Amino acid sequence: MASKSRQKPNIVFILSDDQGAWAMRYAGNKHIITPNFDKLAQSGIKFDNFFCSSPVCSPARATILTGKMPSQHGVQDWVRAGHYGEGSVDYLEGQITLPELLTAKGYDCALSGKWHLGDVFKAKERFSAHTYVHLKGAGHYYNAPMVKNDEIVYEPGYITDCITDDAIAYLDTTGENDRPFYLSVHYTAPHNPWVDGEHPEEIVRRYDDCEFDDVPQGFIHEDAVYRYNQEDARECLKGYYAAITAMDKNVGRIIDKLEQMGLRENTLVIYTSDNGFNCGHHGVWGKGNATLSLNMFDTSIKVPAIISQPGFIKPGRSTDALISQYDFFPTLLEYLGIDNPYTQEDVPGKSFLPLLKEEPMEEHESLVVYDEYGPVRMVRTKDWKYVHRYETGKHELYDLVSDPGEEINLYGREDMQKRVVSMRAALQEWFDKYTDEVFDGSCQPVRGNGQINAIHLLKDGALAFDQNRKTTTDPKGDPSVEAGNIK
């Protein structure tokens, strides 16, 4: 029944969609209902400073799979086209992916849920044991289009439940062999839509009397893509919280299944999200593309992260180490004893396995993490953040000790000039070291409105993006199209 060998542990990697690190009870959110996440966090280690590589879906997911940053793998905005049929695009063509490396070492690799990296039928080339993937990226939670057994089906049930049902059914098949498995469970939750019956009524009702007083509302950022009123915001918050609570219930089902199968102690369970999200934070609704000038607020780039394995990871721990999604690839390979095809000179990621084992670890130089979203790049230490905008010059500098809410932009102050010069130099040096010139995001016209082709397919070397920036007064949005927080 799957692997019970300590030399070949199983992996369950659970990924949510658009979940801010703040949207967990264990993280201090006093209203959200997440008992299973809280229990999972207590069973292992939780990361207080875990960052995405880009504050939007597809680039972050590509980083998790390849260990490369967007300016190396070429996925620099959410994938808008090429999901299936004529004109389908494999955005990861030519890239080495984690499940392929694991398959070569005897792992059965499966994916249940969201793909959103182009051609949905190419997912099977990476996850060869089993795939059940969303046809696009996100959308309605009922009657969702899924690719099952190479056919497109419309699931009448609640898609969070359906993804979990499929993952559990896959776990049942592991009894047919003793090979280790790598199971990725990628929920579309809590991505919008949130209202009009999208989530189970009994869960939404649990938030009817919620004050949501720990989520800032009442003002709208001057650069916000979406204009909303507080009445709309309240209904969206109920749906956003309900989507997370429903997902929490389903994560509990997966953990229970592992325990029933006697696999929990030999299975590393990882939970995280692709990118963060603002629900009124900073006066915006959405993530990195929720503002006309793509943003790098911590609420956009910081994600929840929990890693648990009884008997291997001491329970009830937390760390404030600065960790990025590009660190996940080398960490998992080292944990499994699989050779990394890249060196530290090739890719930016650094294994944080010592943290899991309670051993000393040298964190990233100067405790720095870096993010990018096209022509917007960020360098962040534990105390400071510098955001550089190549196109507009609207740079930002924040003292995160005295101003953790990033409300006072210190850029331009004479007494901050040396710090800006130093952080800008570190940012430039880092990206010069790792950027593939062909994929350099700082030169691309990324506007947050979606990527419609892959750079390696274009003769002129320029990525294809939709240049038209649209706004709306409705935070509910159209779930079939993403602009800002709408997909």
In tens, the pLDDT along 172-191 reads 998 778 899 999 999 999 99
pLDDT at 366 over 70: no
The predicted model gives 56-65 an average pLDDT of 98
- The reported pLDDT for the residue numbered 475 is 39
User: Which residue pairs from 386-394 have beta carbons closer than 8 angstroms and sit at least 24 positions apart in sequence?
Assistant: 386/411, 386/419, 386/420, 386/423, 386/424, 386/427, 387/295, 387/296, 388/424, 388/427, 389/293, 389/294, 390/442, 390/443, 392/293, 394/293
Which residues belong to CATH 3.30.1120.10 in the chain?
367-451
The predicted model gives 211-221 an average pLDDT of 91
- The reported pLDDT for the residue numbered 460 is 56
* Identity of residue 245: T
Fold of 10-366: Alkaline Phosphatase, subunit A (3.40.720)
Give the residue with greater pLDDT, 115 vs 484: 115
Q: Positive or negative, the Cα torsion across 397, 401, 405, 407?
A: negative
pLDDT band at 483 (very low <50, low <70, confident <90, very high): very low
Q: Positive or negative, the Cα torsion across 202, 204, 208, 212?
A: positive
pLDDT at 361 over 90: no
- The reported pLDDT for the residue numbered 169 is 97
pLDDT band at 487 (very low <50, low <70, confident <90, very high): very low
CB atoms within 10 A of CB 460: 7
- The reported pLDDT for the residue numbered 458 is 67
User: What distance lies between CA 45 and its chain's CA centroid?
Assistant: 18
| 3-class secondary structure, 191 | coil
pLDDT at 314 over 90: yes
Q: Tell me the pLDDT of the chain averaged across its residues.
A: 91
CB atoms within 10 A of CB 25: 18
Tell me if 14 sits within 8 A of 481, measured CB to CB: no
CA angle 3, 5, 8 (to 5 degrees): 75
pLDDT band at 479 (very low <50, low <70, confident <90, very high): very low
Give the residue with greater pLDDT, 13 vs 228: 13
Q: Which of 276, 356, 251 is nearest to 309 (CA)?
A: 356
- The reported pLDDT for the residue numbered 6 is 66
| 3-class secondary structure, 203 | helix
pLDDT at 90 over 90: yes
Helix (H) or strand (E) segment spanning residue 99: helix 98-104
The predicted model gives 382-410 an average pLDDT of 97
Q: Which of 361, 336, 164 is nearest to 247 (CA)?
A: 164
DSSP strand pairing (45-47 vs 317-319) = parallel
pLDDT band at 471 (very low <50, low <70, confident <90, very high): very low
Q: What is the pTM of this model?
A: 0.94
Which residues belong to CATH 3.40.720.10 in the chain?
10-366
Please tell me the least confidently modeled range out of 12-26, 367-381, 403-417, 447-461. 447-461
Give the residue with greater pLDDT, 231 vs 453: 453
| 3-class secondary structure, 201 | helix
Share of the chain above pLDDT 90, in %: 84
In tens, the pLDDT along 223-232 reads 999 887 777 8
Q: Does domain 367-451 have CATH number 3.40.50.1110?
A: no
